[in-house]
Chains A and B, each alone.
With several copies, the nearest count.
Chain A
């Protein structure tokens, strides 16, 4: 019998602290598998955010830095400018990237910083206990929006992929999800392509991954994926928002 699937060497043997069924774990795998398959783990430097994935530095089997909340793109810029031949990625949640870190991600994209950002959008602040994120859906409850997000008070969800796609420095921006094996395979292709374009020096690349937070959504892991499918995807449509390779003739 031949092994058709096993844990990637891109991950360490550490057990993750993620809640049961949290799709952060799936996304970790995809990043790690991509790096392994591209053969670049040894020259990769990753940046962990502040959020549930704060401990990602213990999970990815490559050099890692833990950045201040929201500042991963700036840290990645520092690393990449010193090590232009290395692969540099950030892994960030929606609070990290789309709230406190808005300026840093917009400007990394504007500069065409040659990094890859994995943006895990779970429409909530997982780590701190379910507060409203900028991506929280209108009507969705959160511990700081106990009656549900009110459009008139707190606005509507921010769509980062769409925003960053307006910038010339962005080479590749795609939104994917991991709610089924086929979505997972598609997400993996997107992530791998982003790394490839980074290695070609094409510019800033970001994959936004719609992810679940069963704990703070108050759903079972399986129901959380259904909820994501039914509620999040309509607001955050999947697809490619920017692809420099398609702009060429």
Chain B
């Protein structure tokens, strides 16, 4: 198929529609407002629902309702707006509702800045809401990958009955790159039925209930066990990552999203000096590919692991857990909307190698 030049945010929206999403609720916030803007025109054209909600909280709860009613549904926001959705996300996890949540991250904390950042990693991978729950979190590094993963995001959400987050930074939302629409567009009729959904009993079954309340602690514990087993299945089956140029690498960069691209640029710089560097890029940051990272770090050639983030260091926790002490782990990054340069990244590698 022919390539088309797409802006990240618009590609996200279009990809969702092509994934059979016919319901979008959201509230404007830079740098992702092109998503609701695109949806406001194209969702009705596709016969779907676009609604600008009164707040991010309303949006996530509309998602809860629409998902309960069986729809493929999405919301999007950026950092402060995602913070406001935490209770709702926790509820969706508790009630086992699918849905896709896009976070086009900007610098924080607080109002911060509107420039790209990755300061919401903890929130996305650990759950900024209450209780034990997880989201599948995809962290694509370019627009083609965003588009390719979108259909999968909706599929996994439905399969596991849990929300899936697309964790991007503002840069991916704002830039343009060529896109190829590889998979055929889905229409809602093609999708499997959801017998658990609250679509009216039609007199054919007992009422369905969507709920996250388990007042009896034993029931609540059982429910947590049930969720845990599900998460275990996700951990076993849904880890995604990519490794680049790792042959005989002395230093292993670990980075997701935009910084992974910077790390590869840094690896080139190092290569020019004869230092071999590889890049380990988690594509799912939850479930985190701990074993794969451990293996990559285990290679004899690797002398240092350097985590690169657009934050003051969050994923580095997962890198430490994955590497588990077998190699030294260090961190390089910038926060608040500043993007680390390949040179800074290369310097950090040199330092980690003691050069």
Q: Do any beta carbons of A and B sit within 8 angstroms of each other in the complex?
A: yes
A64 close to chain B: CB less than 8 A: yes
Q: Chain A: which residue is nearest B37 at the CB level?
A: A143
State the CA gap A41–B203 with chains docked (Å). 8
**A229 to chain B: closest CB distance in Å?**
27
- Classify the interface of chain B: helix, strand, loop or mixed: mixed
Residues A71 and B111 in contact, CB atoms below 8 Å apart: no
Residues A68 and B87 in contact, CB atoms below 8 Å apart: yes
State the CA gap A76–B69 with chains docked (Å). 10
B210 close to chain A: CB less than 8 A: yes
Query: What A residues does B66 contact at CB under 8 A?
Result: 78-79, 81-82
Query: What A residues does B23 contact at CB under 8 A?
Result: 78, 81-82
Best-buried of B49, B68, B203 by chain A (most CB within 10 Å): B68
Q: Chain B: which residue is nearest A69 at the CB level?
A: B80
B57 close to chain A: CB less than 8 A: yes
**B183 to chain A: closest CB distance in Å?**
24
A100 close to chain B: CB less than 8 A: yes
State the CA gap A44–B53 with chains docked (Å). 23
Contact mask B88-101 → A, CB, 8 Å, 1/0?
10010001000000
**B88 to chain A: closest CB distance in Å?**
6
Question: When A65-B209, A67-B61 are in contact, do A132 and B52 touch as well, CB less than 8 Å?
Answer: yes
State the CA gap A70–B95 with chains docked (Å). 17
A167 close to chain B: CB less than 8 A: no
A131 close to chain B: CB less than 8 A: yes
Residues B65 and A47 in contact, CB atoms below 8 Å apart: yes
A54 close to chain B: CB less than 8 A: yes
Residues B211 and A125 in contact, CB atoms below 8 Å apart: no
Question: When A42-B200, A82-B69 are in contact, do A66 and B211 touch as well, CB less than 8 Å?
Answer: yes
Task: Pick the residue among B88, B111, B202, B207 that contacts A64 (CB under 8 A).
Answer: B207
Residues B28 and A78 in contact, CB atoms below 8 Å apart: no
Best-buried of A50, A78, A100 by chain B (most CB within 10 Å): A78
Query: What B residues does A154 contact at CB under 8 A?
Result: 51-52
Residues A128 and B213 in contact, CB atoms below 8 Å apart: no
State the CA gap A156–B138 with chains docked (Å). 38
Query: What B residues does A187 contact at CB under 8 A?
Result: none
Residues B40 and A78 in contact, CB atoms below 8 Å apart: no
Residues B200 and A63 in contact, CB atoms below 8 Å apart: yes
Query: What B residues does A70 contact at CB under 8 A?
Result: 55
Query: What B residues does A62 contact at CB under 8 A?
Result: 200-201, 207
Residues B198 and A129 in contact, CB atoms below 8 Å apart: no
Within A187-222, the residues touching B (CB, 8 Å) are none
State the CA gap A143–B88 with chains docked (Å). 26
Residues B64 and A41 in contact, CB atoms below 8 Å apart: no
Across chains A and B, the number of contacting residue pairs, with CB separation under 8 Å, is 182
Q: Chain A: which residue is nearest B91 at the CB level?
A: A68
Within A146-182, the residues touching B (CB, 8 Å) are 146-147, 153-154
Residues A45 and B80 in contact, CB atoms below 8 Å apart: no
State the CA gap A57–B95 with chains docked (Å). 13
Task: Pick the residue among B36, B65, B95 that contacts A77 (CB under 8 A).
Answer: B65
Query: What A residues does B73 contact at CB under 8 A?
Result: 78, 82
Residues B40 and A75 in contact, CB atoms below 8 Å apart: no
Q: What's the tally of chain A residues with a CB closer than 8 Å to chain B?
A: 56
Query: What B residues does A61 contact at CB under 8 A?
Result: 207
Residues A144 and B64 in contact, CB atoms below 8 Å apart: no
Residues B198 and A79 in contact, CB atoms below 8 Å apart: yes
Residues A63 and B198 in contact, CB atoms below 8 Å apart: yes
Question: When A66-B111, A66-B213, A131-B52 are in contact, do A75 and B62 touch as well, CB less than 8 Å?
Answer: yes
Residues B199 and A78 in contact, CB atoms below 8 Å apart: no
Task: Pick the residue among B56, B62, B95, B200 that contacts A43 (CB under 8 A).
Answer: B200
**B222 to chain A: closest CB distance in Å?**
18
State the CA gap A75–B67 with chains docked (Å). 9
B256 close to chain A: CB less than 8 A: no
Residues B63 and A78 in contact, CB atoms below 8 Å apart: yes
Task: Pick the residue among A67, A78, A80, A102 that contacts B67 (CB under 8 A).
Answer: A78
Task: Pick the residue among A12, A42, A68 that contacts B202 (CB under 8 A).
Answer: A42
**A113 to chain B: closest CB distance in Å?**
10
Residues A144 and B209 in contact, CB atoms below 8 Å apart: no
Residues A67 and B64 in contact, CB atoms below 8 Å apart: yes
**A213 to chain B: closest CB distance in Å?**
14
B25 close to chain A: CB less than 8 A: yes
Task: Pick the residue among A45, A103, A107, A144 that contacts B37 (CB under 8 A).
Answer: A144
Query: What A residues does B37 contact at CB under 8 A?
Result: 129, 131, 143-144, 146
B1 close to chain A: CB less than 8 A: no
CB-based closest 7 A-B pairs: A78-B65, A74-B61, A78-B66, A63-B198, A75-B65, A78-B62, A71-B61
Contacts A57-B211, A131-B33, A144-B28 known; 18 new A-B pairs at CB < 8 A:
A50-B111, A54-B213, A61-B207, A64-B210, A68-B64, A68-B87, A69-B80, A74-B61, A78-B73, A82-B70, A99-B55, A104-B61, A107-B58, A128-B30, A129-B30, A143-B33, A143-B40, A144-B52
